[in-house]
Amino acid sequence: MRSDRGQRAPLGLKVAAACGLLFLHLPILLIFVYAFTTEEKSFVWPPPGLTTQWFAVTWNRPDVWDALSLSVRVAAISTAIALVLGTLCAAAVSQTRFFGREAISLLVILPIALPGIITGIALRSAFSLADIPFSFWTIVLGHATFCVVVVYNNAVARFRRTSGSMIEASMDLGADGFQTFRHVVLPNIATALLAGGMLAFALSFDEVIVTTFTAGQQQTVPIWMLEELIRPRQRPVTNVVAMVVVLVTLLPILFAYYLTRDGDQIAGSGK
């Protein structure tokens, strides 16, 4: 809201705002700078020299590729599951009235409100209770819990804006349920699903806490990074990977923001 448009902000406010933004983003810039440092054992400021050799080193490290591949696969599958379940759930909650509707709506959102560590511990004890060995699918399951919420929130907001009589109009004009979904529902929620899906992908890609409880010995990119920090060897490789992760997660979120900025906000992006 711009209540007093045209009035200039006082200098003090500008400085404070600038300091706030710098505080938020300078550390990220530091990560980028350290990716080019010649010092490999510890992070010293200023960097003694600049080099691009770490990009080549990173490229040739199989553990980086393994972690990256695992993360991408987990994020992709979790997002796919979330898209299906989140959309179905949103459709049910926003298009019909039934007993327990509010409760279901709350239960769906709960995983994102709960601290990740609780979700993680709960899943881990559930897995061991059911004798399920850690695998790719246990990670996917853990990630799907919060990915579903993100898709659900986006889809529900869009469904609310979509007139319910549109679906009736489509049926009235001779379209059966499938045709109505294909020609009316899907085109109207597509951008919301794309936005929700990309956000879900980004969340899954950098998730640490739930993953540590559900991954066993497998390493996703963030877990691999944590391990790298403990074993100091070719440290700037971590920074190179960090840069890649920032780009991989930032671009979808930006894109999602532009897709949905007219109207509904990207609900749940605060996780």
Partner 1 sequence: MTSAVSFKQVSRHFGSVRAVDAVDLEIAPGEFFAMLGPSGSGKTTCLRLIAGFEQPTAGSISIFGERAEGVPPYRRNVNTVFQDYALFPHLNVLENVAYGLMVKGVGKAERLKAAEEALSLVRLPGYGARRPGQLSGGQRQRVALARALVNQPKVLLLDEPLGALDLKLRENMQEELKSLQKVLGITFVFVTHDQGEALSMADRVAVFNDGRIMQVGTPEDIYQRPNTRFVADFVGSSNVLPPDFVQRYSGQHRWGSLRPESIRVSNATSGDGVAARLVGTNYLGATTRLALDAEGLRLHAVVPAGTALPAEGEAVMLTFNRESLHLMDEPA
> In sequence order, what are the residues at sequence separation of 6 or more whose Cβ sits closer than 8 angstroms to the Cβ of residue 36?
47, 50, 51, 52, 54, 236
Interface residue with partner 1 among 9, 84, 166, 254 (CB under 8 A) is 166
Site string for partner 1, 106-145 (x = CB under 8 A): ----------------------------------------
Stretch that binds partner 1, among 36-44, 130-138, 141-149, 158-166 (CB under 8 A): 158-166
Residue number with CB closer to partner 1 (124 or 158): 158
Rounded (5°) CA angle 175-179-182: 145
Q: Are 157 and 264 in contact, with CB atoms under 8 Å apart?
A: yes
Interface residue with partner 1 among 88, 169, 226, 250 (CB under 8 A) is 169
Q: Are 190 and 60 in contact, with CB atoms under 8 Å apart?
A: no
Residue number with CB closer to partner 1 (183 or 261): 183
Least distance between partner 1 and beta carbon 176 (Å): 5
Total number of residues binding partner 1 (CB under 8 A)?
A: 17
Torsion, CA 142, CA 202, CA 110, CA 257, rounded to 10: -160
Site string for partner 1, 172-211 (x = CB under 8 A): xxxxx--x---xx--xx-----------------------
Least distance between partner 1 and beta carbon 268 (Å): 25
Q: Which of residues 18-47 bind partner 1 (CB under 8 A)?
A: none
Least distance between partner 1 and beta carbon 174 (Å): 5
Least distance between partner 1 and beta carbon 167 (Å): 9
- Is residue 227 within the footprint of partner 1 (CB under 8 A)? no
Least distance between partner 1 and beta carbon 192 (Å): 13
Least distance between partner 1 and beta carbon 172 (Å): 5
- Is residue 165 within the footprint of partner 1 (CB under 8 A)? yes
Least distance between partner 1 and beta carbon 155 (Å): 16
Stretch that binds partner 1, among 69-77, 122-130, 171-179, 203-211 (CB under 8 A): 171-179
Omega of the bond leading into 46 within 30 degrees of 0 (cis):
yes
- Is residue 168 within the footprint of partner 1 (CB under 8 A)? yes
- Is residue 95 within the footprint of partner 1 (CB under 8 A)? no
What residues line the site for partner 1 (CB under 8 A)?
A: 163, 165-166, 168-176, 179, 183-184, 187-188
